[in-house]
């Protein structure tokens, strides 16, 4: 195609989008105009004569059938679910772990050999994490303690702070909560987290509560979907509390397998609580869609993120080498399912035409990648690691500003697993970028392999920057140096440069 | 007299007999505390020549607190380890070089230009933190105090015994040990690398932490612009050589072999801890002696130790070895100075007992010698040592060393939860074969505490000799 024709197409595209997205209006207006003209032409007496000629039964049906259809449609339509508000756990500087401290602990404890320490050094440098990420109190010890009591202490600290914050923001009392869904993948004591919250906040005896364990880093959106489903059958105006967290204390890997050391370097303390309701009064967001995609039927996807024991009996999470390709595959499946639900008609038509063209005309025509920026203003991509964010930015063709929330959350909080999406949303609001009517796309990945996404629409943006970013948002965005520039990296971070052996 | 009375009143010699075993400190758990805010990238704290002169030595400070009384007010109950750690985060914001780690300057490409600076140590302020050690002791504070009065040297296990090295990158500059006693009492032991500051600097640093723990607010963390850390002061102008007497060369001594990155003094003897307490009455009695008027308590006590030690060492080293002693006088660091009050500004000098050997000399005469010793700034000593300072040098212990830490306990009190410690000891570790003793005012009362390191076998004999000498007063 010549460049002049490409330029012409680019200029025509906005016109095309306006036409196709408003096709109903564009078709209906002239049609209505034609009908009115015809009616005017016929004259009022002629219209009345025609009207009396109709049989009453037909008139009745003509009025009743559409009304009945509309009523049935309205009743069977799922209730709209709103996000009243959300709150994230605010980290405390006394849990802070700078790079140097993390590396020194791994070095001083004799359980890690030099190769492992060198590997973790390189991982940390390229991870995209900053110097303010936090680990729980028990992991500031050499060696870190992984006992039950410390794990419970971490869980209680994170969950109770987030819920206290949320209840203060919304003014809701714990007795008004009807549904409670908690997800924490790698720590599931008895009694469960949900019971812990019931006990602490004295929830009502009739409240429905569930704890989801083992569902991986995408469990936050699974919890949201479960809460949404439960709200459909709960009384009108019911409130559901969704708590997403991950407890790191019991999961520190103490062995030497490189594939299992990565979570030690990336996972950090964090948690979030969100209040959903079918009552939209005072709500801030509306949940438009939740799409869940499972790839676990394929063995490679199933074993991609696998918790197991290494040769010496240390338990850790093994990340396979083809994690990125499986993630990309899962993402494609998810957006294929999500696309028709959220994309405007113009993009769907183009995608359909390109699909047909590839099938019918010529296989080598490049597939049209729908532009999701027409469907969403903001993107919250799970901050699983620098590589994950890079990969998604590439495949969704997003700009740096659109993935900024993910990168900055990774820098400031590390990978907080299922709650990272909420920290990213908090970043966008703290920066003041959220407007009424903006649509947000949350994408989470997790073991299984799962890719889950949710689409939100903003009703009322946050009034102020209060939240986990309150005292550091003015420092963001920061520039995260390129990991390929290795030597410069090491000198800047002051990390020891190991002699090349 | 005083010491024996305590032994009798304890009522159970058996307790003391079992004391040696049950005084053991065990169950060490290590953790780390870091500054609460980010220091920044590549912030370096330059070490002056005076600092590097002392790199092989360590300050050991131990504060022992009794358990709070059963009917104590809420503000006076014992603090848990977490409550002690909480204020350390903003504290380290103020003293961020202490939480850094040592590095050496890279070798310059053009060796001719900067030969001396090649491999010069400095502190990279990377927020790595200080090490906290939690330990337990199966004795009560009272039993411990009795053992300390009886044998001395009991403070050493209460501070973590670790030197810098073998890897500079991963060696903390400060260890804080929190030892819990069976009765609920607590001991705080600080092991402070002398390279970062001298005894008053360390004491001021610890006192600041105690104030934060007692509820004072820390100043907000300043934006630490590397440029605001001024470069080390230019080398001091050489003293006017015409008037100064010829410099004695044995104030500092090079080590027998380079120590590399393992900053411990190689010694021919095993060095063991030593401590002794001189009560106020004994001090007064000393000052009544003829010729002792106008001499301070530091000089009197040091003179006693000098004479006694000279007698003990006469058989092994001969009379000449203990003729020369090193005298160190500490000064208060400038508050709010640009170097955060972390300096090595004390003064070092000599005293020489010419004439009769010190073992036979009069205490008052030795004290007068000590009082009259000419001391000069550590910076000047470093400048004079010149190239030797860039190498590995021993200050404390090159010859028998006495450190006047004067009123360091009064000037920088460590008050926690409204209570003062029952026992305080400041000492130096990592000293050379000559041994070193720090003399400072005691925690309670107006006596003097002498503490430091001596050769194996000397503490017991020295304590006996001192008791005899003080009884005769």
- As given in the structure block, the two tokens for residue A91 are 């980290």
pLDDT number for residue A75: 85
**pLDDT, mean over chain B:** 80
A141 in contact with B, Cβ within 8 Å: yes
- Of A94, A137, A492, Cβ closest to residue B36: A94
Note whether B34 contacts A108, CB cutoff 8 Å.
Answer: no
| Separation CA B54–CA B331 (nearest Å) | 16
Note whether B34 contacts A96, CB cutoff 8 Å.
Answer: yes
Digit-coded pLDDT (tens) for A217-263: 999 999 999 999 999 999 999 999 999 999 999 999 999 898 899 99
Kind and range of the H or E run holding A390:
helix A386-395
Percent above pLDDT 90 for chain B: 27
pLDDT number for residue B61: 94
- Of B31, B36, B86, Cβ closest to residue A142: B31
**pLDDT, mean over chain A:** 89
Q: Is residue A236 reached through a cis peptide bond, with omega within 30 degrees of 0 on the bond before it? A: no
Mean pLDDT of all residues in A432-449: 93
Digit-coded pLDDT (tens) for B396-414: 888 889 999 888 888 888 8
pLDDT number for residue A277: 96
Question: Cβ contacts (< 8 Å) between A494 and chain B: which residues?
Answer: 41-42, 103, 124, 126
**Selected residue with higher pLDDT from B73 and B46:** B46
- As given in the structure block, the two tokens for residue B358 are 């010190």
Q: Does residue B247 register a pLDDT over 70?
A: no
Q: Does residue A150 register a pLDDT over 90?
A: yes
Question: Cβ contacts (< 8 Å) between B29 and chain A: which residues?
Answer: 141
Per DSSP, the three-state class of A276 is strand
Residue B205, number of CB atoms within 10 A of its CB: 24
| Separation CA A437–CA A456 (nearest Å) | 10
Kind and range of the H or E run holding A120:
helix A114-126
| Separation CA A479–CA B41 (nearest Å) | 13
Note whether B30 contacts A142, CB cutoff 8 Å.
Answer: yes
| B116-120, B135-139, B194-198, range with the lowest pLDDT | B116-120
Note whether B170 contacts A108, CB cutoff 8 Å.
Answer: yes
**Selected residue with higher pLDDT from A116 and B344:** A116
Kind and range of the H or E run holding A407:
helix A404-413
pLDDT number for residue B339: 53
pLDDT number for residue B113: 44
Digit-coded pLDDT (tens) for B369-379: 888 888 888 88
* SS3 sequence of A437-460: CCEEEEEEEECCCEEEEEEEEECC
ipTM for the whole predicted complex goes beyond 0.90: no
Q: Does residue B72 register a pLDDT over 70?
A: no
Q: Is residue B166 reached through a cis peptide bond, with omega within 30 degrees of 0 on the bond before it? A: yes
| Separation CA A267–CA A333 (nearest Å) | 26
Question: Cβ contacts (< 8 Å) between B129 and chain A: which residues?
Answer: 98, 100-101
Mean pLDDT of all residues in B171-193: 93
pLDDT number for residue B111: 47
Residues 6+ away with beta carbon under 8 Å from B248:
B324, B350, B352
Q: Does residue A108 register a pLDDT over 80?
A: yes
pLDDT number for residue B117: 44
Which of A95, A100, A249 is the best substitution to test chain B (most B C-beta atoms within 10 A)?
A100
Note whether B30 contacts A93, CB cutoff 8 Å.
Answer: no
Q: Does residue A53 register a pLDDT over 80?
A: no
Residue B103, number of CB atoms within 10 A of its CB: 17
pLDDT number for residue B234: 44
Residue B301, number of CB atoms within 10 A of its CB: 28
Chains A and B: how many Cβ contacts under 8 Å?
A: 65
Contact (Cβ atoms closer than 8 angstroms) between residue A498 and residue B169: no
Q: Does residue A490 register a pLDDT over 70?
A: no
From chain A residues 86-115, the ones with a CB under 8 A of any chain B CB are 93-94, 96-101, 104-105, 107-108
Q: Does residue A495 register a pLDDT over 50?
A: no
**Selected residue with higher pLDDT from A50 and B214:** B214
Residues 6+ away with beta carbon under 8 Å from B325:
B302, B306, B350, B351, B370, B399, B400, B401, B402
pLDDT number for residue B222: 53
pLDDT number for residue B8: 36
Digit-coded pLDDT (tens) for A286-302: 999 999 999 999 999 99
Q: What is the DSSP letter of B454?
A: E
Distance of CA B188 to the CA centre of its chain: 14
Alpha helices in A236-370 (DSSP H): 258-266, 299-302, 323-342, 345-356
Q: Which one, of A423, A379, A387, lies nearest residue A404 by Cα?
A: A379
Angle made by CA atoms A437, A443, A445, in degrees to the nearest 5? 170
Digit-coded pLDDT (tens) for B196-246: 988 988 998 999 899 888 887 766 655 454 434 444 444 444 443 333 343
Q: In Å, how far is A102's CA from the nearest CA of chain B?
A: 8
Digit-coded pLDDT (tens) for B300-351: 899 989 889 888 888 877 777 788 888 888 876 555 444 567 888 888 888 8
| Separation CA B446–CA B424 (nearest Å) | 13
Burial of B227 (0-12, 13-18, 19+ CB in 10 A): exposed
Nearest CA in chain A to B88: A94
Chain B residues within 8 angstroms (CB to CB) of chain A: 29-34, 36-38, 41-42, 82, 85-86, 89, 101, 103, 124, 126-129, 167, 169-170
Q: Which one, of B31, B140, B154, lies nearest residue B84 by Cα?
A: B31
Residues 6+ away with beta carbon under 8 Å from B431:
B57, B265, B271, B394, B396, B397, B401, B452, B453
Question: Cβ contacts (< 8 Å) between A108 and chain B: which residues?
Answer: 30, 170
Question: Cβ contacts (< 8 Å) between B85 and chain A: which residues?
Answer: 94
Nearest CA in chain B to A108: B170
Alpha helices in B254-374 (DSSP H): 280-288, 297-317, 363-371
- As given in the structure block, the two tokens for residue B232 are 């080390």
In B292-422 the beta strands, taken as DSSP E runs, fall at 324-329, 347-352, 375-377, 393-394, 401-404
| A174-188, A473-487, B19-33, B92-106, range with the lowest pLDDT | A473-487
- Of B36, B42, B170, Cβ closest to residue A104: B170
pLDDT number for residue B32: 95
* Residue B3 pLDDT grade (very low, low, confident, very high; cuts 50, 70, 90): very low
Mean pLDDT of all residues in A369-380: 89
């Amino acid at each position: 195609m010549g460049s002049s024709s490409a330029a012409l197409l680019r200029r025509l595209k906005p016109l095309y989008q306006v036409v196709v997205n408003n096709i109903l209006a564009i078709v209906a207006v002239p049609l209505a105009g034609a009908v009115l003209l015809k009616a005017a032409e016929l004259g009022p007496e002629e219209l009345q004569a025609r009207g009396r000629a109709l049989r009453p039964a037909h008139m009745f049906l003509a009025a009743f059938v559409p009304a009945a259809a509309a009523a049935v449609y309205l009743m069977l339509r799922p209730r709209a679910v709103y996000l009243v508000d959300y709150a994230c756990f605010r980290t405390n500087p006394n849990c802070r772990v700078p790079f140097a401290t993390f590396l020194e602990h791994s070095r001083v404890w004799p359980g890690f050999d030099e190769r492992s320490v060198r590997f973790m050094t390189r991982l940390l440098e390229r991870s995209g994490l900053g110097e303010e990420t936090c680990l729980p109190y028990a992991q500031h010890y050499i060696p870190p303690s992984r006992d039950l009591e410390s794990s419970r202490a971490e869980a209680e600290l994170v969950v109770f702070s987030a819920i206290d914050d949320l209840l203060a923001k919304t003014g809701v009392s714990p007795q008004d909560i009807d549904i409670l869904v908690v997800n924490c993948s790698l720590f599931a004591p008895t009694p469960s987290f949900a019971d812990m919250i019931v006990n602490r906040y004295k929830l009502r005896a009739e409240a429905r509560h569930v704890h989801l364990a083992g569902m991986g880093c995408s469990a936050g959106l699974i919890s949201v979907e479960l809460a949404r489903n439960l709200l459909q059958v709960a009384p009108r105006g019911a409130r559901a509390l969704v708590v997403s967290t991950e407890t790191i204390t019991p999961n520190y890997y103490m062995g030497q397998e490189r594939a299992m050391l990565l979570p030690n370097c990336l996972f950090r303390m964090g948690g979030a609580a969100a209040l959903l309701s079918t009552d939209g009064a005072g709500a801030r967001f509306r949940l438009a869609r939740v799409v869940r995609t499972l790839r676990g039927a394929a063995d490679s996807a199933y074993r991609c993120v696998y918790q197991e024991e290494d040769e010496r009996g240390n338990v850790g999470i093994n990340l396979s080498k083809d994690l990125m390709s499986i993630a990309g595959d899962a993402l494609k499946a998810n957006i294929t399912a999500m696309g028709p639900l959220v994309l405007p008609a113009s993009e769907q038509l183009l995608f359909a035409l390109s699909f047909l063209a590839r099938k019918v005309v010529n296989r080598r025509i490049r597939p049209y990648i729908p532009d999701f920026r027409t469907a969403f203003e903001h993107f919250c991509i799970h901050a699983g690691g620098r590589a994950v964010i890079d990969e998604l930015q590439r495949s969704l063709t997003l700009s740096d500003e659109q993935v900024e929330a993910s990168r900055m959350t990774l820098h400031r909080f590390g990978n907080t697993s299922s709650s990272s999406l909420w920290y990213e949303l908090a970043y966008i609001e703290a920066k003041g970028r959220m407007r009424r009517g903006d649509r947000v796309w949350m994408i989470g990945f997790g073991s299984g392999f799962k890719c889950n996404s949710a689409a939100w629409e903003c009703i009322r943006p946050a009034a102020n920057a209060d939240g986990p970013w309150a005292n550091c948002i003015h420092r963001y965005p920061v520039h995260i140096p390129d990991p390929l520039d290795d030597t410069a990296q090491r000198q800047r971070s002051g990390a020891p440069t190991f002699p090349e052996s | 007299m005083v010491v024996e009375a305590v032994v009798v009143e304890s009522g159970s010699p058996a307790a003391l007999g079992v004391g040696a075993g049950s005084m053991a400190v065990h169950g060490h758990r290590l953790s780390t505390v870091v500054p609460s805010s980010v220091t920044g990238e590549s912030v370096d704290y330059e070490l002056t020549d005076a600092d590097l002169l002392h790199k092989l030595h360590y300050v050991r400070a131990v504060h022992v607190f009794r358990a709070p009384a059963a009917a104590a007010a809420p503000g006076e109950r014992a603090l848990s380890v977490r409550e002690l750690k909480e204020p350390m985060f903003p504290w380290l914001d103020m003293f961020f070089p202490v939480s850094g780690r040592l590095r050496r300057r890279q070798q310059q490409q053009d060796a001719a230009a900067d030969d001396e600076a090649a491999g010069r140590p400095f502190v990279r302020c990377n927020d790595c933190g200080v090490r906290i050690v939690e330990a337990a002791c199966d004795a009560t504070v009272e039993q411990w105090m009795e053992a300390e009065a009886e044998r001395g040297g009991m403070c050493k296990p209460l501070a973590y015994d670790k030197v810098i090295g073998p890897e500079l990158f991963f060696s903390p500059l400060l260890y804080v040990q929190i030892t819990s006693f069976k009765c609920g009492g607590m001991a705080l032991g600080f092991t402070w690398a002398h390279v970062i500051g001298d005894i008053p600097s360390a004491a001021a640093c610890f006192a600041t932490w105690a104030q934060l723990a007692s509820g004072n607010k820390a100043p907000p963390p300043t934006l630490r612009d590397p440029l605001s850390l001024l470069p080390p002061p230019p080398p001091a102008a050489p003293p006017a050589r015409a008037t100064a007497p010829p410099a004695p060369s044995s104030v500092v001594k090079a080590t027998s072999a380079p120590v590399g990155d393992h900053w411990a003094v190689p010694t021919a003897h095993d060095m063991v801890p030593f401590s002794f307490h001189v009560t106020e009455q004994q001090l007064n009695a000393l000052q009544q002696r003829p010729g002792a008027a106008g001499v301070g308590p530091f000089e009197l006590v040091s003179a006693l130790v000098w004479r006694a030690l000279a007698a003990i060492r006469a058989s092994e080293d001969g009379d000449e070895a203990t003729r020369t002693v090193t005298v160190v006088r500490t000064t208060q660091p400038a508050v709010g100075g640009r170097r955060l009050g972390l300096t090595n500004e004390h003064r070092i000098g000599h005293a020489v007992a010419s004439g009769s050997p010190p073992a036979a000399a009069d205490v008052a005469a030795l004290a007068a010698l000590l009082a009259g010793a000419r001391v000069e700034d550590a910076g000047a000593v470093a400048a004079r040592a010149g190239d030797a300072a860039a190498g590995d040098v021993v200050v404390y212990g090159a010859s028998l060393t006495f450190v006047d830490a004067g009123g360091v306990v009064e000037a920088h009190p460590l008050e926690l939860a409204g209570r003062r410690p029952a026992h305080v000891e400041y000492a130096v570790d990592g000293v050379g074969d000559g041994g070193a003793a720090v003399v400072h005012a005691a925690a309670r009362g107006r006596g003097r505490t002498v503490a430091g390191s001596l050769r194996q076998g000397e503490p017991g004999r020295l304590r006996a000799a001192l008791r005899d000498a003080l009884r005769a007063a």
